[in-house]
Every structure is written in C-alpha cells, then in structure tokens.
Amino acid sequence: MSKVARVLIAGCGDVGGRLAVRLHGAGWEVYGMRRSVSELPEGIVPVAGDLHHADCPDQWPRTELDYLVYSAAATQHDEAGYRQAYVDGLRHVLGWLQARGQLPKRLLFVSSSGVYGQAGGEWVDETSAAEAQGYSGRIMREAEQVAWSSGVPATVVRLTGIYGPGREWLLKQVRMGYRVSVEPPLFGNRIHADDAAGLLAFLLQADLAGKALDDCYIGVDDEPAPLHEVVGWLREQLGVEHWAEDSAVRRSGSKRCSNARARALGWVPQYPSYREGYAAVLRER
C-alpha cells in the first residue's frame, strides 16, 4: 500500500484553501495553517498559528512532512508588512521545521510576477531579469532567495494577477465606467484562483511522481491581454454603456508573462484566457 503524502500549507487562505481541497480530494493528508482555522475547508487538519510570530504553533504536526507550501498574503500593504509576511514569516516556518528535524522533499513558495520590472509590453519568462524597483517586488525577490537557500529543495511559483470569486475589483471598476489608455496598450497578466491552486497541485503531484521540477515557474493563463481589451469585453458582458467622467486611468506596468515552462511540464489551465475565467465568475454570481 502506497504511503499517504503529507503537506502543510502555511498561509492557507483563498488560493491555499483551494489547493488544500484539491490535494485532500486526491488522498493527501493536508495540514492548513492560518490564524482562523474555523475557515479551513472540511477535512483539512487545522494548525492555528501566526506567521508573524517566532513561536511555533502548538498544533504544528509532529509527524514527517513530505511537502511545505508557503502561500502567505500580506495584511499590511507597506514595506514593513511585506517583509513581515514574506521574508520573516518564511524564516519562522523554516526554523520550525529545523527545530523538529523535519526535512520536506520540496518547498513551494508562492511568489508574484511583481518581481519583474519590465514595463514596455515585452514578453517575460522565468529567465528574464527580475529587478523590480518597488518595495513589494524587491522584498518578494528577497523572500525567493530565502526559499532557494533554505536547504530544502525549493520551487518558486510567480503568480500573476489572481481573480475569481471574492476578487472582483476589476468588475466593480468596469461597472463604474473605468477608463484605461488604449495607446500604448497596457498588457496585463491574469490567472483564475482555481488555476493558481491547480498549478500548485500539479507541481506537487509531478514532484511526488518523480518528475524533475525547475526552481521557478510563472503562473499565468495563455493570453496576456491589453487592459482596454479586457475592460471592453467586460463592459459588453455587464451591459455597461457609460464612462466615468475622470480622464483615462493610466495603470503602471506593462508586460506579457509566458506560461511555456509550466505547459511544457504538462500543466493546462482550466481557464485559458480572461474570457473563460470571467465568464465563470459572472455565472457564479
């Protein structure tokens, strides 16, 4: 009888919770760590704890862990908050592993395409320079280095703009008549929350099956698109005809992220573009 794979998801929120459900359904033993464990999906072993504090949670598993997924989200959106969530929190978890003599087969660190500073609409992949100048990108890059130098085989997953149920900022803006620049086009990158979780699950299952993983993957759908195109499509779906009186909103940043590396490993997004993804969001409303 094959051994049950065990994973701890540190920061088991939206994407982490979706991942937990997938793995639990596949027969994994899943530990979910978050402050409010009452919000964990059914069947997930609760680990009540705070990544911001150095003390190891009392419910930290004493058993062998095969995998660790670090999927924290900053609750304080400034430089100190980012450092606390991504750098300090990861170091805390790695310290708890070491104190208990636990050495997982692999660490998945959930990062962000915000580490890239490219802004001219160019294509970006895992080999592209990741030299964002803003504090969020710099700190996330530092956290990636902590993962890679942890002594645990580590794979960084740089997720792009996550959307889905409960993540409907753009829909709200479109309803208000959101204006965006057409020229030059502002390319954006997206991934549905279910596909973000699906990619993480795919990588874990691939590693468990003995496939060699790279140290970094970009999580993005098949079709980076100009923001004005996405807004235009959503206006049609929502029946919005008015425009906001304010002048066109200029969003900073413009790049096109490639998912070729993840696809080469065999991953296929459920929602290949914003059209399928947002259509699903609108159906569920």
Q: Whole-prediction pTM value? A: 0.96
The type of residue at 174 is V
Whether 117 and 137 have beta carbons less than 8 Å apart is answered as yes
Tokens representing residue 244 in the block:
């906001």
Question: Taking each helix axis from N to C terminus, what angle separates 274-283 and 227-238, rounded to the nearest 10 degrees?
Answer: 30
What confidence score (pLDDT) does residue 247 get? 57
Whether 233 and 168 have beta carbons less than 8 Å apart is answered as no
Cα separation, 70 vs 51, whole angstroms: 10
Helix (H) or strand (E) holding 146: helix 135-148
What confidence score (pLDDT) does residue 284 get? 84
What confidence score (pLDDT) does residue 65 get? 97
Cα separation, 18 vs 27, whole angstroms: 15
- Tell me the Ramachandran region of residue 162: left when phi exceeds 0, alpha when psi lies from -120 to 50, beta otherwise: beta
The 3-state DSSP class for residue 168 equals coil
Q: What residue ranges define each of the domains in the chain, with the CATH number in brackets?
A: 6-163+192-220+259-270 (3.40.50.720)
What confidence score (pLDDT) does residue 1 get? 39
Residues of the chain with pLDDT under 50: 1
